[in-house]
Each structure stands twice: as structure tokens, then as C-alpha cells.
């Protein structure tokens, strides 16, 4: 009888220990498998997409990063090597000519370093899930910085083109206004007697010519005041 009691007690204690261990493992597993939703980042504006359509390495990275907006630390680590390889391709690629600037290349290089850091985390057994989530956020922020720079460069180029067109149009307009008008020929009044109707017509013609001259002087004066 005692043997039966001791046996039951032993199995009960063993069962409790296994349950405790299993609970600990479940918590640890849940910590790494919990999906983390990250904030949305700045992307290249749709109206500017045509400017970078030929940059295939960027498109590949953009598509691959879509999964990182909502991802668990475990999946982020598992995909870190591929992410780093794609970013390396972006860094080594031939970029659109308007992006070949030191400031932009520095941002691409920063993104590569951040993805490399995430890949290094996969070899650290003691790495915490929260640290992985923070590194993913840094990667997304670095990519957002790249997109912001692309938008800025394209917008700046558009404004410069608009100013060039505007200056050209104003230049043509001002040149036209500055030109002297063709002299207006006025028929001299006849020395002979004119009818009342003819005298009235001559007076109206002279007034019309004076009005034209006043309008021209006013326009020419406004052009001088506005050098642009």
C-alpha cells in the first residue's frame, strides 16, 4: 500500500515539474513568435514612380520589405540573410543618374549596415525579441529616409524646370513690351475748309492715338518696375 502511495506521489511531483517546464517553454516561444506591427513609413510618391521604374534592385527590396511591416522576431531573424543580400544588391547597383549623389549613397549604405546588424543577431543565442523588433524598426526608418530623399530630389527638379519655363516666358514677354511700337501715321489736317463731320473724325482719330500711346507708356513703366 505504501508503495502505491509513494509511486502516485512521485508521478504527481514529476507531472507538476513537466507542466512548469512546458509552461516556461511556451512563454519563451510566444515571445519570439508574437507578431510586431511597425509604423508605416514614407514611400516614393506614385506620381514619381516612373522616375525609378528601371531600378529593379529597388523594386526587389520594396517588395521584400513589405513583410517586415508586420512580422515576428523569429521570422525577421529567419529572413535576415536574404534581406541583407537584397540590400547589398541595391547598394552595388547602377542607380538612376539623378540619385548618384554622396548624400543619397550614404543613406543606402546605412540601410545595408542596419540589415547586416539584423543578420548578425541570428548568431547571438541570448538576443532578446525586443531587440530584434527595435532593429527591424531601424531598418524601416532607414528605408523611409531613402524614399524621402528620392521624393525631395524629384520635387526639386520639377520646381527648377518650372522656374526655367517661367523665366523664359517672362523674358519673351518683357522683350516684346520693351520694343518700340511702329510709328503711327497721322494724316495731316487739310489746309482747306473741312466739313464739320470731317473735323469731328479727325479729332476722334487724334484722341484714339493719344490713348494708345498712354497705354503703351503705362505698360512699359510696369515692366521696368518688375525686373522678373
pLDDT in tens, 23-45: 334 444 578 999 999 999 999 99
> Considering only CA atoms, which of 89, 93, 150 is closest in space to residue 115?
89
pLDDT score, position 67 = 96
Q: Where are the domains of the chain?
A: 23-153, 185-228
- Res 58 pLDDT > 80: yes
Neighbouring CB atoms inside 10 A of 198's CB total 12
pLDDT score, position 207 = 72
Average pLDDT for residues 154-161, to the nearest whole number? 91
Percent share of the chain, pLDDT over 70: 61
Of 30-34, 45-49, 109-113, where does mean pLDDT reach its minimum?
30-34
Average pLDDT for residues 59-84, to the nearest whole number? 97
Whether domain 23-153 has CATH 1.20.1420? yes
C-alpha to C-alpha distance for 77 and 72, rounded to whole angstroms: 9
Q: What is the pLDDT of residues 173-200, one digit of tens each?
A: 555 545 544 554 545 545 455 556 566 6
* Pair 170, 153: CB distance under 8 Å: no
Quick one: which H or E segment has residue 176?
helix 129-178
Amino acid at each position: 500500500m505504501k508503495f502505491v502511495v509513494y509511486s502516485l506521489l512521485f508521478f504527481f511531483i514529476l507531472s507538476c515539474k513537466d507542466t512548469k517546464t512546458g509552461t516556461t517553454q511556451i512563454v519563451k516561444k510566444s515571445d519570439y513568435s508574437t507578431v510586431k506591427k511597425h509604423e508605416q513609413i514614407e514611400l516614393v510618391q506614385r506620381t514619381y514612380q516612373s522616375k525609378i521604374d528601371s531600378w529593379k534592385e529597388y523594386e526587389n527590396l520594396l517588395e521584400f520589405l513589405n513583410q517586415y511591416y508586420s512580422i515576428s522576431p523569429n521570422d525577421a531573424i529567419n529572413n535576415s540573410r536574404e534581406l541583407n543580400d537584397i540590400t547589398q544588391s541595391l547598394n552595388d547597383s547602377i542607380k538612376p543618374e539623378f540619385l548618384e549623389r554622396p548624400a543619397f549613397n550614404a543613406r543606402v549604405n546605412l540601410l545595408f549596415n542596419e540589415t547586416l546588424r539584423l543578420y548578425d543577431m541570428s548568431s547571438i543565442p541570448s538576443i532578446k525579441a525586443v531587440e530584434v523588433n527595435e532593429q527591424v524598426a531601424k531598418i524601416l526608418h532607414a528605408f523611409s529616409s531613402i524614399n524621402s530623399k528620392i521624393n525631395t530630389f524629384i520635387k526639386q527638379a520639377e520646381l527648377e524646370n518650372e522656374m526655367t519655363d517661367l523665366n523664359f516666358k517672362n523674358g519673351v514677354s518683357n522683350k516684346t513690351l520693351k520694343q518700340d511700337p511702329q510709328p503711327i501715321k497721322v494724316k495731316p489736317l487739310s489746309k482747306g475748309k473741312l466739313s464739320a463731320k470731317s473735323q469731328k473724325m479727325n479729332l476722334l482719330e487724334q484722341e484714339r492715338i493719344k490713348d494708345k500711346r498712354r497705354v503703351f507708356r503705362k505698360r512699359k513703366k510696369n515692366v521696368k518696375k518688375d525686373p522678373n
